[in-house]
Structures are given as C-alpha cells and as structure tokens.
Chains A and B, each alone.
Chain A
Amino acid sequence: GENVEQHPSTLSVQEGDSAVIKCTYSDSASNYFPWYKQELGKGPQLIIDIRSNVGEKKDQRIAVTLNKTAKHFSLHITETQPEDSAVYFCAASPNNNDMRFGAGTRLTVKP
C-alpha cells in the first residue's frame, strides 16, 4: 500500500519568511495529492490539492509542486503570517477510498 513520509516534523519561521514542507510517496498509482491545515482541536481543512497531470498549482500565498518521477511533492507558503501557525498534513491517494496521510508538520510563525 501507499506510504507517505513528511518532513520536517516541526518548522519555525519568522513572520514574512517562506515555509516549505516536503512529502514523498511510494505508490506510483497515486494521482491525487491534497494538503490539509489543522488548527488546535479542530478537524483538518483542505487548503490546496494537485493532481498528477499538473506540476504546480498556486492559490494566493500557497503553492504546491509535484514531481511524479521522484515521487515527491511540496507545500510552499510565502509571506507567512501568525495565523498560518498550525499542523499541516500531506496525503497521497490512488483512488477515492485509499488516502494515506503524512505524520504532519507543526508550523510556528513568530511575529
């Protein structure tokens, strides 16, 4: 089955700096790669996703890149703000009922 690894486990940046979180996956059949943001005590919220026919996707300060050959994908947050502080999860999915999550990255943005 799919195995997703996520790095780093914790990340601390100064407000205004960029943050990058990286994930690797093992199943070449995976074709959907979402990113979730989870605030304390809440359920994860989908913030951006990318499908295997696309190499990069942007949404304002957030971007995701995908390298299918190397089986890795990354989340980039630019101009970080304190409200970006949360736990971020990547996931990889070959089909609708098989989504595997990374262990999460705790991002802290210092004002």
Chain B
Amino acid sequence: SQTIHQWPATLVQPVGSPLSLECTVEGTSNPNLYWYRQAAGRGLQLLFYSVGIGQISSEVPQNLSASRPQDRQFILSSKKLLLSDSGFYLCAWSGGASYNEQFFGPGTRLTVL
C-alpha cells in the first residue's frame, strides 16, 4: 500500500530564516505530487504541483519554491521566511489507478515568529 510522509511535523522559525520541508511517498512510482498551504481555519490553497522529476508548476507567486530531485521526493523551500508564511503545509500525491484522487500526508505546522 502507499504511504506518504512529511517532516518535520512542527517547526518554529524566525522571520528571514530559510525553510526546507520534505515529503516522500512510498509504494507507488511516478506519482503526481502537490504542496498545499492551509491557513488557520481556512481551506486548502494549492502552491505547487509536479508531474515528474524536475517538473514544477507554480500556482501562486510567492517567496516559496519547490523541487523534485527524485521520483518520490518533493521539497518545499524558502530563502527568507515571512510572517505570512505561517500555516499548515500539506503534501499530497495522486496517480496510478487512482487518477484524480489525491491522498494527503500528515502535514507540517510552521510558525514564523
């Protein structure tokens, strides 16, 4: 069966510091991968998605970036965090027999102080 991992689970960072969040998927190959952000009490905002290694599509202009160095690894980064980057970051995957269905990881709670 497929599993999706995210780390760290929680993170507190000062404004202006760099960020690196990691997501990995097991049990599937060539998945589509997604990064979402969820502000407190709000819905999910798609940030990036990737259909393959090195292929990144950005949905919202911001100071975040994403990379996919391996088939089942998706990384969310920032060079300098802003207060507004605080939120709950969710990674998701889709593909294979479950074409449209997206499956979410446990999330990373980021607090920027």
Chain A interface residues toward B at CB < 8 A: 6, 32, 34, 36, 41-46, 49, 51, 89, 93, 95-97, 99-104
Instruction: List the A side residues contacting B62 at CB < 8 Å.
Output: none
Do B43 and A43 have beta carbons less than 8 Å apart? Answer: no
Do A97 and B49 have beta carbons less than 8 Å apart? Answer: yes
Residue of B nearest to A31 (CB): B100
What separation, in Å, do the CA atoms of A99 and B35 have in the docked complex? 12
Complex partner residue of B42 from A42, A43, A45, A103, CB under 8 angstroms = A103
Decide if the interface of chain B is mainly helix, strand, loop or mixed: strand
**How close is A62's CB to chain B, nearest CB, in angstroms?**
16
> Does B110 reach chain A (CB closer than 8 Å)?
no
> Does B106 reach chain A (CB closer than 8 Å)?
yes
Do A99 and B109 have beta carbons less than 8 Å apart? Answer: no
Complex partner residue of B43 from A34, A45, A49, A89, CB under 8 angstroms = A89
What separation, in Å, do the CA atoms of A101 and B45 have in the docked complex? 8
What separation, in Å, do the CA atoms of A17 and B68 have in the docked complex? 46
Report how many residues on chain B are interfacial, defined by Cβ distance under 8 Å: 23
Instruction: List the A side residues contacting B107 at CB < 8 Å.
Output: 41-43
What separation, in Å, do the CA atoms of A100 and B51 have in the docked complex? 18
Complex partner residue of A46 from B44, B57, B103, CB under 8 angstroms = B103
**8 pairs, CB–CB < 8 Å, chain A vs chain B:** A6-B43, A32-B100, A43-B105, A89-B44, A95-B100, A96-B100, A97-B32, A104-B43
Instruction: List the A side residues contacting B26 at CB < 8 Å.
Output: none
Residue of B nearest to A87 (CB): B41
Complex partner residue of A43 from B32, B99, B100, B104, CB under 8 angstroms = B104
Instruction: List the B side residues contacting A41 at CB < 8 Å.
Output: 107, 109
